[in-house]
Chain A
């Protein structure tokens, strides 16, 4: 007699809970805001926010462990890992001192962690943003050097028109480029953008249905593959 394959209890429990909560959330979104199910759905979302906070702590622990191991195993660029760990400890310490209001003298009542973020993160991001522009121009140039498809040609032509149309000196005399650029952005670019977004939205519907019917692989333990 053929034996039916049973799902492990934990898998069934996880799938059951996920399906039940998914249905509660979807009904909560559709139902009236003041209804009990909508309130319950909102409570679930708040619980998720609490989980996220815990997950960030586990993420930081993972980060520190990974980099400590890299340093201790003398892996290439291990010094960078040590720097990451030291910086993480430093930033957490500064934040704790901020919260405890322990700074004295000129630093009294200062929020140093926020200032540190502004000084380091924002200036770094600014510098990186400048580099992105050059990378993109260089990538466009490299496209010319490799097998050029007609789609790539359209892409490059569009970049040229947009750049020419944005050139104030040129558009002063030749309004054609500016008009053409405006038309490009208003019609084909908007149409393409919407097409892409509709496609992505449909894709998420498919994955959503898979979650709702418990077909998602995340619920299952794997079967052995030879």
Chain B
């Protein structure tokens, strides 16, 4: 890293930290929680979990190739955060979900996430480690998409919720959901996966919306709201920097 990059990294981290603390402080001082911009995908996820409970079927959630230990570590952590809050909603029943992924380290983290969700609802006895299924694959594999869509169809899952790192393989799950008239919420940090999810899902989750899931799904929002505030402010700051740079370039020329 050169000096400018180091300064930039430290600046971004400091700004994010300060904004998160400020946001949490702001929420704790208020009587009412702030209203967040509605994101249809999170509402749809809650609805799909409720459908799974009512129909006594397994909801299918996939983390794709999100992998702890490489550059998608934080995506995997953000995805498991959402998985925790979704499963906590349904963990009072004995039915286990269907959680698929392709990274072996994330497998252990995902199993722990499911366990914690069931403990949170005082239903630890219902927890089964085999609810989390590992599909060996390289970073991207169409066979993974085919495998998980066949599994979700066989289990008659009421919906598939895909969060994390997906490439073209996401198309198979979207197609299966359309054919079986299942719900489908898709998101990917990979561009091609995100584009396909946008086209196939009625309620896609787009880009950075993945990282604020806890603010939308949890009822302990003070810390989570700090993250939303930091993300929004940093986004506007970067947009302002880009616009300023364009204006300066135009004036110079």
Contacts and interface: CB of A to CB of B under 8 A. Distances in A.
Interface string A199-212: 11011111111111
B136 interface: yes
B108 A222 contact: no
Given A207-B74, A211-B74, A217 B16 contact: no
Given A55-B107, A132-B142, A139-B178, A202 B235 contact: yes
B116 interface: yes
A55 B231 CA distance: 33
A55 B16 contact: no
A59 B69 contact: no
Contact of B174 (A48, A77, A128, A139): A139
Contacts of B104: 52, 55-56, 58-59
A142 B196 CA distance: 13
A222 B138 CA distance: 33
B62 interface: no
B105 A209 contact: no
Interface string A10-38: 00000000000000000001100000000
Given A29-B1, A52-B104, A135-B174, A196 B116 contact: no
A114 B166 CA distance: 25
Contacts, number: 171
B107 A58 contact: yes
B117 A66 contact: no
A155 interface: yes
Contact of A155 (B191, B199, B211, B214): B199
Contacts of A157: none
A58 B134 CA distance: 10
Interface in B32-81: 69, 74-75, 77-78, 80-81
Contacts of B78: 203-204, 207
B22 interface: no
B27 interface: no
A140 interface: yes
Contact of B211 (A29, A52, A138, A204): A204
Interface in B65-122: 69, 74-75, 77-78, 80-81, 84, 88, 104-105, 107-109, 112-113, 116-117, 119-122
A224 B81 CA distance: 17
B230 A206 contact: yes
A77 B150 CA distance: 10
Contacts of B175: 135, 138-139
Nearest to A213: B17
A203 B211 contact: yes
Nearest to B105: A55
B171 A139 contact: yes
B187 to A, nearest CB: 10
Nearest to A29: B1
Contacts of B189: 200
Given A48-B69, A155-B198, A211-B77, A200 B168 contact: no
A139 B130 contact: no
Contact of A129 (B13, B120, B142): B142
Contacts of A207: 74, 77-78, 211, 227
A209 B21 CA distance: 11
Given A77-B154, A136-B199, A209-B17, A218 B112 contact: yes
A136 B169 CA distance: 11
A186 interface: no
B20 interface: yes
Contacts of A216: 77
A51 B130 contact: no
Interface of A: 29-30, 48-49, 51-52, 55-56, 58-60, 62-63, 65-66, 69, 76-77, 121, 124-125, 128-129, 131-132, 135-136, 138-140, 142-143, 146, 155, 193, 196-200, 202-213, 215-218, 221-225
13 contacts: A58-B107, A62-B133, A125-B143, A128-B142, A202-B231, A203-B78, A205-B12, A207-B227, A213-B20, A217-B81, A222-B116, A224-B120, A225-B121
